Amino acid sequence: MRMSKIVRTGANLLYPFVLIFGLYVIMHGHLTPGGGFQGGAVVATGVALVIVAYSFEEVTSMIKKVGMKARESIGLLLFIGAGVAALAAGAPFFSNILANSGLLFGQTVPAGPNPGDLNTAGVIPIMNVAVGIEVWGGLAIIVLYMLSSIPEEGS
Amino acid sequence: MKRGLSAVIFIVLAAGLCAIPAFLTFGEPAESGMDQYFIGNGQAQAATNNIVTSVVFDYRGFDTLGESVILFAAVIGVGLMFRSMREEEEHEDE
């Protein structure tokens, strides 16, 4: 069952902004409040908005279940991979090998209050992105599965 | 008999739960040394301004792995529950 044209237009308008805000919360998880779980939940809220506004057939043509399943699996694999990469480098499991290394996300942080730099924190941004992708796919696929069990009325 | 026993157990457990705050002082954890360690060394060790994120993803990264696996298991459970209700949609996009 699809909602009225007002709701659909509003959902179309808000969807990219919700997505961008959620991805911002994920990417700046090591600088601002939030992180992978919270940002992923925000992105999944945008997906849920589109699912509420459109009928099931239209949603499954726009948002693929396979894509959401792939996001969830890739996110978890990337998260575990970031932990195993530390083992490969000779450090304990899940240790932050990229912090203060000068490589990707490897700049040092001065002590005390400072505005912060995106290029810091080592593997933490990578894990944030991994968890964000996983929560995005996981919550979206849960909503899609629950919607698929509701019988369609008037179609 | 069984109902009375379960009621007694419930009352004892509820009274124990209510009595716990009488023995604990709120807002004063038994071990606060770890907090000061995280606050003092988080910026130098994890290179993060956000201490909460450095605890979640660096110091306590293994717990976060458990959280992620729990989410994965929840999705698998929901998929198993709702899979049989609409088979045709399942095979359509796979």
Is A26 part of a structural domain of the chain? yes
Is A153 part of a structural domain of the chain? no
pLDDT at A18: 92
pLDDT at B94: 47
Q: Which of A79, A107, A146 sits opposite B65 (nearest CB)?
A: A79
Is A63 part of a structural domain of the chain? yes
Using the beta-carbon criterion (under 8 Å), do A145 and B79 form an inter-chain contact? Answer: yes
Is A40 part of a structural domain of the chain? yes
Segments of chain B scoring below 50 in pLDDT:
94
Q: Which of B49, B79, B89 sits opposite A114 (nearest CB)?
A: B49
**Domain count for chain A:** 1
Is A90 part of a structural domain of the chain? yes
Is A154 part of a structural domain of the chain? no
pLDDT at A155: 47
Among residues 45-84 of chain B, which lie with CB inside 8 Å of chain A? 45-50, 52-54, 56-58, 61-62, 64-65, 67-69, 71-72, 74-75, 78-79, 81-83
In terms of residue numbers, what domain contains A83?
5-148
For residues A53 and A47, give the distance between their C-alpha atoms in angstroms, rounded to a whole number: 10
- How many CA atoms are closer than 13 Å to the CA of A43, on its beta-carbon side? 29
Mean pLDDT of chain A: 82
Is A155 part of a structural domain of the chain? no
Is A109 part of a structural domain of the chain? yes
Q: Are A46 and B74 in contact (CB under 8 A)?
A: no
What pLDDT digit, counting tens, does each position of A104-136 carry? 777 777 777 777 777 777 788 888 889 999 998
Q: CA separation (Å) from B60 to A117, B5, B65?
A: 23, 42, 9
